[in-house]
């Protein structure tokens, strides 16, 4: 596994056929199992510096959500949160895991919760990072894209690229290098990547989290909420509300970090996770 930040070197070695398409996966280290679940518009690349630290003590499973990174949904399949949750349930069975810890960022947090609460995936612990769970969490940017999807699908690819590049830069508090930015944007390059982006925009909805928000009180396993203090996408005040909604959940706020918490502060994120997981 490469963790070279500037070059953006990161490649998942395995492919798993699931009902919704084909998923890129990998696993590193040994010990109690932990599954890292990224959000939108990222990929498992988000975890490239967190995973090696966790892998010193755990078997760390990473995967690209369907429609993201190197994972491909089946033709005509929109990558909804429920699809990702069902896919996670399939992967847990594929990996033959008993009760893994789930670590979810952004819609990865909603995916983890939905897999557990709706699709019955047994878990040991739940960690939610800048998670898209409470209320109407879709950003105005995403709302506009959903409302005018036909416009975004048909605009010239270079114009679309000029729109999403500066948007991505707002995901972190610390400036990303051009190499890292390009690595995040690589799956969205060109006309095909543009359609892929709009697919995921149309596929996600805060409608898919209302039922799990209403069931957060049912969570009985240890849970912890981590949040970047400078998150510009999901208000930091949301962190305390989410932790309060889950019985016994802990809360850690990470300073000098934005929405892409594992990108801004990988070491602090990994250390907070290790304290919780152990």
Per residue in 94-109, pLDDT (tens digit) is: 999 999 999 999 999 9
pLDDT greater than 50 at residue 182? yes
Which residues, 6+ apart, have CB-to-CB distance to 144 below 8 Å?
A: none
User: What is the band of 2 on the pLDDT scale with cuts at 50, 70, 90?
Assistant: very low
Is the predicted pLDDT of residue 6 greater than 70, yes or no? no
- Dump the DSSP string for 18-58: ETTEEEEEEEES-SEEEEEE--TT--GGGGTTTHHHHTTTE
pLDDT given for residue 3 in this prediction: 38
Contact 71, 26 (CB under 8 A): no
Helix (H, G, I), strand (E, B) or coil at 178: helix
Structure tokens at 196: 């892929």
CA atoms within 13 A on the CB side of 178: 0
Task: Give the DSSP H/E element, type plus range, for residue 104.
Answer: strand 101-105
Report pLDDT digits (tens) over 226-262: 999 999 999 999 999 999 999 999 999 999 999 999 9
Give me the mean pLDDT over the 147-171 stretch.
96
Q: How many helices (H) and strands (E) does the chain have?
A: 12, 9
Q: What does the pLDDT look like over 108-154, one tens digit per residue? A: 999 999 999 999 999 999 999 999 999 989 999 999 999 999 999 99
CA distances in angstroms from 13 to 1, 39, 57, 200, listed in the order given:
9, 20, 21, 23
CA distance 251 to 236: 11
- Please tell me the predicted confidence (pLDDT) of residue 238: 97
Rounded distance between C-alpha atoms, residue 123 and residue 98, angstroms: 8
How many other CB atoms are found less than 10 A from the CB of residue 239? 25
Tell me the pLDDT tens digit for each residue of 184-232: 999 999 999 999 999 999 999 999 999 999 999 999 999 999 999 999 9
Q: What CA–CA distance (Å, rounded) separates 16 from 94?
A: 8
- Are 25 and 12 a contacting pair, CB within 8 Å? yes
Q: What is the pLDDT of residue 41?
A: 97
Average pLDDT, the chain: 95
pLDDT tens sequence across 48-59 = 999 999 999 999
The residue to which tokens 């939905």 are assigned:
114
Dihedral-angle region of residue 76 (phi above 0 means left; psi in -120 to 50 means alpha; beta otherwise): left
Task: Look up residue 26 and give its two tokens.
Answer: 């990998």
The DSSP line for 186-240 is GGG-HHHHHHHHHHHHHH--GGGGHHHHTTGGG--S-EEEEEETT-SSS-THHHH
What does pTM read for this prediction?
0.95
Assess contact for 84 and 116: CB atoms under 8 A: no
CB 148 within 8 A of CB 160: no
Judged against a pLDDT cut of 60, whether residue 5 lies above it is answered with no
d(CA 70, CA 224): 29
Q: What is the pLDDT of residue 146?
A: 94
Share of the chain above pLDDT 70, in %: 97
Q: What is the pLDDT of residues 7-21, one digit of tens each?
A: 457 999 999 999 999
According to the model, what pLDDT value does residue 278 have?
87
The SS3 of residue 251 is: strand
């Amino acid at each position: 596994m490469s963790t070279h930040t500037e070059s953006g070197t990161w490649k998942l070695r395995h492919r798993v056929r699931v009902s919704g398409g084909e998923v890129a996966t990998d696993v590193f280290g040994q010990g109690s199992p932990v599954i890292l679940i990224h959000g939108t518009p990222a990929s498992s690349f988000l975890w490239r510096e967190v995973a090696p630290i966790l892998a010193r003590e755990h078997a760390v499973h990473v995967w690209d959500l369907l429609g993201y990174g190197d994972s491909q949904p089946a033709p005509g399949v929109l990558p909804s949160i429920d699809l990702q949750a069902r896919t996670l349930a399939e992967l847990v069975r594929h990996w033959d895991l008993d009760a893994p810890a789930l670590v979810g960022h952004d819609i990865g947090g909603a995916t983890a919760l939905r897999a557990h609460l709706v699709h019955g995936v047994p878990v040991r612990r739940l960690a939610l990072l800048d998670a898209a769970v409470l209320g109407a969490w879709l950003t105005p940017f995403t709302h506009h894209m959903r409302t005018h999807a036909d416009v975004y699908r048909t605009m010239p690819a270079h114009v679309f690229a000029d729109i999403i590049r500066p948007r991505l830069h707002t995901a972190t508090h610390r400036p990303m290098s051009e190499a890292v930015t390009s690595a995040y944007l690589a799956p969205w390059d060109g006309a095909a990547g543009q359609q892929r982006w709009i697919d995921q925009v149309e596929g996600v909805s805060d409608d898919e989290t209302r039922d799990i928000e209403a069931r957060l009180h049912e969570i009985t396993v240890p849970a912890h909420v981590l949040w970047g203090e400078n998150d510009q996408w999901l208000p930091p005040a949301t962190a305390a509300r989410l932790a309060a909604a889950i019985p016994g959940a802990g809360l850690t706020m990470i300073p000098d970090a934005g929405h892409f918490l594992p990108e801004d502060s990988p070491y602090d994120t990994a250390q907070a996770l290790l304290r919780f997981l152990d």
